[in-house]
């Protein structure tokens, strides 16, 4: 041990004690102020743009899925700065989905001189260019690199077909309403390919290089193209065409009866709404398992992508046949009549979706009505679809905390990403629960008027004025309520707010009491339920075990607070065995049925990640599948709703 002088030790201790207060003082933390956000993008003005954009899209590189673009953008004399915008907020998607990250190879020139460009640090969809004196036109050249696998996004080009969406391949000058910017568009297609689009070609017989008549940028984006090697076109009504592209010529084999049902769809819609809000209309239908599926509305056309079998396996695909009635209805509901907060002057201003329960919910309502009235889907299958929708929302636990109107934010919040607890979180419920709200509304109108008035009267009053007007007519909540009040006086504002704005533990199923039907759960599924399971390659046990499994026995959804939830099963769990035997979907159904009489829990061997475990599900209710059962004698209210107009 080393000895230390007592005097030295005392001196050191005194020094430390004297310094202690200084050491204990808190250190001031850095606290910067934010840098002000630049606002370098000029606001849109509703005045004519000084010139016409020339846009040429070469879509012949089908092997690599590359669109090569040249865009000549005129500028007014004396312009020294130009801001170009790429479409960000996309109509029909209700969200900022413009894939600007797939735009590459950007090069801007003017008079042969290369121009420098800079992306806006706040709005990454905006590009700023400084222009030399005397420039009257800027030439933009770039590629749109479309996804080549589904992991990258929706595939829009294959060796046999393509879906040209103009918002993917064009910039527009900031500072103008897009409806004020004229465009001359040209598409270069593979040799021999035929196409469908709402755009009007300068030469209707042209193939290969197709130049279109001048149109405004807004309408250009609203007028996509389907083109393909295997193509068929049918006239459904004067000015209304069905354009079909397919992976193989066999998929084009629609029967005369099938085409006639699509003609009846057009007839029934026009009889319903009493007007047409287009000068002509093109259904674009792709039958493919290579091109990405789609259902997207436009004013004078719609993009519809389905898997093979749409015509050739007609009886097995009832659930897929709702797509065209739904998207066609949008020409009236969503494109012509549009929520005022959803309308925007360009594709940069954010959209507000508070009225999607009308835009999408009522379109869903009319889509199912029109599928039945036209015969595209049978009345029986339509009733089965109603049962599935009613059951889904009757058992939706998320309604205990989240109002329907809040789900109108989902396109912006979640962009249809997979959710761990869908039934608790809710997702875009304004579609199908919106349908139920309008079924409730139809029932109330019939009740108030002794059956003389219905939602058909609302359709004609709300969507009917302005035949052949294909502009945009905006509305707000008060407009909806007052239109209903004009048909049958009632507190419609309170009626709708109770179902839409408030947390509603009970689903809007009041219509069932006067529909002539009741919602029942039986051990046998409907034919429509089975066709949906087959199409989606799932086994849906939502109303028994409270879960859905795919063809590989992996759980894709678990109902919040259901039996599977209580047993600790989550989505992503794989079911390996039931009752000690390798799992088969039919074996699992038998185990559910047996447990109803034996009273024993259902034993499952499951795999979660790299862990195996046995779980017991204490459920004794047997198989449960929803259906609508007729309780009225003769024709009832729901029968009248689905009956064709004569």
| Domains contained in the chain, CATH given | 39-221 (2.60.40.3650), 353-520+632-642 (1.10.390.10), 527-625 (2.30.42.10)
pTM: 0.94
The pLDDT value recorded for residue 25 is 73
Residue-wise DSSP of 473-484: EEE-HHHHHHHH
Closest CA to 413 of 427, 431, 432: 427
Question: What is the maximal distance between C-alpha atoms in the chain?
Answer: 115
Nearest CA to 262 out of 311, 205, 194 is that of 311
Provide Rg for the chain, Cα atoms.
30
Below-70 pLDDT ranges, the chain: 1-24
pLDDT score at 144: 99
Give the SS3 label for residue 364: helix
Characterize the bridge pairing of strands 473-475 and 517-522.
unpaired
Query: Can you give the pLDDT at residue 39?
Result: 85
Task: Give every CB contact of residue 558 below 8 A, 6+ residues apart in sequence.
Answer: 421, 423, 546, 547, 564, 565, 569, 570, 571
pLDDT digits (tens, 9 = 90+) for 85-105: 999 999 999 999 999 999 999
């Amino acid at each position: 041990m080393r000895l230390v002088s007592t005097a030295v030790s005392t001196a050191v201790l005194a020094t430390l004690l004297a310094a202690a207060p200084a050491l204990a003082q808190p250190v001031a933390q850095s606290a910067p102020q934010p840098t002000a956000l630049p606002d370098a993008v000029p606001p849109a003005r509703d005045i004519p743009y000084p010139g016409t954009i020339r846009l040429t899209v070469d879509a012949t590189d089908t092997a690599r899925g590359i669109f090569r673009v040249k865009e000549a953008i005129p500028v007014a004399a004396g312009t020294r700065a130009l801001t170009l915008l790429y479409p960000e907020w996309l109509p029909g998607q209700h969200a900022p989905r413009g894939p600007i990250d797939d735009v590459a190879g950007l090069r801007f020139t003017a008079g042969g001189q290369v121009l420098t460009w800079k992306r806006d640090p706040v709005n990454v969809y905006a590009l700023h260019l400084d222009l030399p004196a005397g420039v009257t036109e800027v030439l933009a050249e770039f590629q749109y690199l479309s996804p080549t696998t589904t992991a990258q996004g929706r595939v829009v080009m294959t060796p046999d077909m393509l879906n040209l969406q103009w918002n993917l391949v064009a910039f527009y000058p900031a500072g103008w309403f897009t409806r004020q910017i004229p465009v001359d568009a040209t598409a270069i297609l593979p040799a021999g390919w035929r196409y469908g689009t709402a755009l009007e070609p300068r030469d209707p017989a042209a193939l290969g290089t197709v130049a279109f008549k001048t149109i405004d940028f807004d309408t250009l984006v609203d007028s996509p193209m389907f083109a393909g090697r295997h193509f068929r076109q049918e006239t459904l009504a004067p000015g209304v065409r069905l354009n079909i592209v397919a992976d193989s010529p066999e998929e084009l084999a629609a029967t005369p009866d099938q085409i006639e049902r699509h003609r009846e769809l057009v007839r029934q819609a026009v009889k319903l709404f009493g007007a047409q809000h287009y000068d002509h209309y093109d259904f674009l239908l792709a039958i493919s398992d290579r091109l990405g599926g789609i259902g997207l509305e436009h004013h004078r056309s719609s993009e519809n992508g389905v898997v093979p079998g749409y015509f050739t396996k007609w009886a097995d695909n009832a659930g897929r046949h709702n797509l065209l009635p739904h998207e066609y209805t949008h020409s009236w509901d969503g494109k012509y009549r549009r929520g005022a907060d959803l309308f925007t002057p360009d594709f940069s201003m954010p959209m507000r979706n508070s009225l999607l329960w009308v835009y999408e919910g009522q379109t869903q309502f009319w889509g199912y009505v029109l599928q039945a009235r036209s015969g595209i889907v049978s009345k029986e299958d339509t009733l089965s679809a109603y049962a599935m929708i009613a059951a889904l929302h009757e058992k939706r636990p998320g309604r205990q905390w989240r109002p329907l109107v809040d789900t109108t934010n989902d396109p912006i919040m979640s962009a249809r990403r997979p959710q761990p607890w869908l039934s608790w979180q809710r997702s875009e419920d304004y579609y199908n629960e919106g349908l139920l709200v309008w079924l409730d509304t139809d029932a109330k109108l019939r009740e108030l008027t002794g059956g003389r008035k219905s939602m058909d009267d609302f359709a004609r009053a709300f969507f009917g004025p302005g035949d052949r007007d294909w502009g945009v007519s905006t509305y707000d909540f008060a407009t909806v309520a007052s239109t209903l009040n004009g048909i049958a006086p009632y507190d419609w504002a309170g009626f709708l707010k109770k179902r839409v704005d408030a947390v509603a533990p009970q689903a809007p199923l009041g219509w069932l009491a006067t529909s002539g039907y009741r919602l029942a759960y039986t051990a046998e599924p409907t034919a429509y339920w089975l066709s949906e399971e087959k199409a989606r390659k799932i086994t849906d046990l939502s109303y028994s075990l409270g879960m859905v499994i795919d063809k590989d026995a992996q759980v894709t959804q678990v109902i919040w607070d259901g039996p599977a939830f209580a047993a600790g099963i989550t989505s992503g769990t794989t079911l390996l065995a039931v009752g000690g035997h390798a799992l088969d979907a039919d074996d699992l159904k038998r185990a559910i049925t047996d447990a109803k009489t034996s009273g024993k829990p259902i034993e499952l061997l499951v795999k979660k990640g790299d862990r195996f475990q046995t779980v017991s599900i204490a459920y004794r209710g047997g198989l449960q599948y929803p259906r609508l059962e007729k309780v009225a004698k003769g024709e009832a209210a729901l029968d009248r709703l689905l009956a064709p107009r004569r």
